[in-house]
A and B are shown apart, each in its own frame.
Chain A
Amino acid sequence: MTAIADIPAQAPVRSLGSETTAFLLMTAMLLLLPLTGIYPYFVMQALCFALFACAFNLLIGFGGLLSFGHAMFLGTAGYVTAHVVKEWHFVPELGIVTGAAAAGVLALVTGLVAIRRQGIYFAMITLALSQLLYFVFLQTPFTHGEDGIQGVPAGRMFGLLDLENPITLYYVVVVIFIGGFVLIHRAVNSPFGEVLKSIRENEPRATSLGYITDHYKLLAFVLSGTLAGLAGAMKVFVAQNASLTDVHWTMSGEVVLMTLVGGLGTMFGPVVGAFVIVAMQQYLAGFGQWVTVIQGLIFVVGVLSFRRGVVGEFAALLRLNL
C-alpha cells in the first residue's frame, strides 16, 4: 500500500536551502506586488485560500488525514468574525482572533469525534459533520440564512491600520498569510511534525514506539482547523461578508483540489494550487457550470497521472525540496 503523499517523502536530501530560497522569493513577490499595479483584490483572495489550503495540507500531506469537511472551519470563523465585528463592534484584530479561536474550539470538538475512525471513514465523518454545521448555520438567526452577514465594516487594526485602504489591507493579509505559513513550516519541521509524518507512514508502528497517536492527530487537527479559521477570518475583511458558500461541502472539495493541484505534502504546493484555482474561477466565470466540469477533470487527471501536483513534479524534476 502506497500512502497518500508518499512521493515528497522520498525527496532526495533533507535540506532547507531550496525551501528558504523559495520562501524568500515568495515573500519578495508578495511584498513588491502592489508596485506592479496589479489589482490586489485577486491576490488577497488567493492568499486567503492559500492559507486555508496550507492548513488543510498540514493534515493530509503530513498526517495522512483527509478531512473532507474543512470548509466548516473557514466558514465558522468567517461567521464569528463577521458577527463580532459588525454587531459587537470588536476591533479587527480581536475579531480575527475570536474567529480563529472559534474554529479552534470547533476543531477540538469535531476532532475528538472524527479521529475515532481512520482513512476513508475519517473523510466521511468530517464531511458529515461539516454538513451538519451547514444546516445549523442555515437555520440559526445570527447568520441571516441565505443572505449571510453583509457589509462587515473594515475598521482600523491596532487603531492604526486603516483596512478601508486596499493597500494597507493587502499588507495586513500578506503578513497574516506569511505568519501562518511560517507557523505551519515550523510545526512540520519540529519533533511534533516528525511524529506526525511517522503516523502518516505507519500508524501501528508509531503506536508501538510509544506515541499516543490520537493525541498527535488531534493536535494536528486543532492546529489545522485554527489556521483554516484564521484564513476564514481574514477573508471576511477581504470580501466584507460571510456567507453559506464558505461552509458548504463544495468548498471542502475545492480546498482538496487546490492542494492536489499544487502538490500534496509539499510546503508550497497548496499556495500555488490556490492561486491556480482562484485564477481559474476568476477567468472562467463566464463558462457557468463548465467550471465544475473542468474542476472535475482536473481531479481525475490529478489523481490518475499527476499525483505530485505542480510543485511536487517541479521539485522532483529539479531534485529540490519544496
Chain B
Amino acid sequence: MNQALYAQLLVGLINGSFYALLSLGLAVIFGMLSIINFAHGALYMMGAFVAYFLLNLLGLNYWWALLLSPLAVGCFGTLLERTMLHRLAGLDHLYGLLLTFGFALIIQGVFQNYFGSSGLPYAIPLLLQGGFNLGFMYLPTYRAWVVLFSLLTCLATWFLIERTKLGAYLRAATENPVMVRAFGINVPLMLTLTYGFGVALAAVAGVLSAPINQVRPLMGADIVIVVFAVVVIGGMGSIMGSIITGFSLGIVEGLTKYFYPEASNTVVFVLMVLVLLLKPAGLTGRTA
C-alpha cells in the first residue's frame, strides 16, 4: 500500500459520490415517470454553472450555491416536466429518452456557445481549504467534504422515500397511480416535483464537482454515459442499490487507475457486460 494507491482510492470515492448522486436522481425519476433522463448530465453541468454565476455575478459564495443551485435547476426541471415531458404520458418510454436527449443537446449547445469548451475555475470555499495528515496519506478537506456530503444527501433521499409518508405516497403512485389519485392525492403534481427533485440531486453533484473538476459545458456529457452503465449494473431496483453501486463503481474505477491505468476508462463498461451476462436484471434489479 502506498500514497498513490490511497490517492486513486480517494479519487474513486469522489467519482463514486457523483455516480451515486446522479444514478440516484435517475432512479427517482425513472421510478415515478418511467423516463430515462438523458438530460441528467446537462443538468449536472447546469448545477455547476449556476454556482459559478452566483459567485461571479451576485457574489454569493459556495454555501449559498449549495442551497440555491439545486433549487434553481430543480425549478427549471419542473418547468421542463410541466411544459413538455408530461405530454409523453402513455407513449413508448423511448420517446422520453429521445426528448430528454434533445434537452441535453440544447442545454449543452447553449453553454458551449457562450463558454467554449474550456474550464472555468471555481475556488474551494475558505472553510474547506487545507487538509489533514492522516499519517498514511494527506486528505484534502474539500474532498472529504464531497464524500461526506453526498453520502448524507443520498441517505437523506433514501430516508425520504423509504421511511416517510410522502415517500409512501410516491411508492404507491409508482405501483398504481390511478388508485392513489382516487385517494385524493395530486399525482401529476407529484410527478412534476419528483422530476424537479431528481434534477436537483444532479445539480447538487454539479456544485460539489465545481471546485474539483472546474466548470465546463461538456462536463456532464461523458459522465452521464458512465452513470447509465452504473444504472444498468445496479439495475435501478432500489434506492439503496443505486447508492451502493454508485460508490462501489467509483472505487473500482479508482483501483483500476492504480493497477491498470489503460483500462480505467472502460472498466465500468466491461463490468456492465459481465453483470449482464451473469445477472441480466442487474445487481439489485427486481425484474428481468
Contacts and interface: CB of A to CB of B under 8 A. Distances in A.
B106 A132 contact: no
Contacts, number: 129
Nearest to B264: A135
Contacts of B273: 113, 129, 132
Nearest to A2: B91
Nearest to B270: A132
B266 interface: yes
By secondary structure, the B interface counts as helix
A3 B99 contact: no
Nearest to A200: B92
By secondary structure, the A interface counts as helix
Contact of B95 (A4, A68, A124, A291): A4
A193 B64 CA distance: 58
Given A113-B276, A127-B225, A300-B84, A292 B108 contact: yes
A4 B225 contact: no
B228 A124 contact: yes
Nearest to B88: A303
A33 interface: no
B94 A293 contact: no
Interface in B85-105: 87-88, 90-99, 101-105
Nearest to B106: A296
Given A117-B232, A117-B280, A293-B105, A304 B84 contact: yes
Contacts of B101: 253, 256, 299
B102 A297 contact: yes
Nearest to A117: B280
A290 B92 contact: no
B140 to A, nearest CB: 28
A28 B93 CA distance: 39
Contacts of A138: 265
Contacts of A117: 232, 276, 280
A128 B265 contact: no
A120 interface: yes
B36 interface: yes
A292 B105 contact: yes
Give the interface residue-count category, chain B: 35 or more
Contact of B92 (A3, A113, A249, A299): A3
A293 B36 contact: no
B231 interface: yes
A299 B113 contact: no
B65 to A, nearest CB: 25
Interface in A277-303: 288-293, 295-300, 302-303
Nearest to A292: B109
Contact of B225 (A3, A131, A304): A131
A132 B280 CA distance: 19
Given A119-B93, A292-B109, A296-B106, A125 B277 contact: no
Given A116-B280, A249-B225, A297-B102, A123 B94 contact: yes
Interface of B: 36, 84, 87-88, 90-99, 101-110, 112-113, 222, 225-226, 228-229, 231-232, 262, 265-266, 269-270, 272-273, 276-277, 280
Given A1-B90, A124-B231, A129-B269, 11 more contacts: A60-B94, A117-B280, A120-B97, A128-B225, A128-B269, A131-B229, A139-B265, A290-B109, A295-B109, A300-B103, A300-B106
Interface of A: 1-4, 6, 60, 64, 66, 68, 113, 116-117, 119-121, 123-125, 127-129, 131-132, 135-136, 138-139, 249, 253, 256, 260, 288-293, 295-300, 302-304, 307
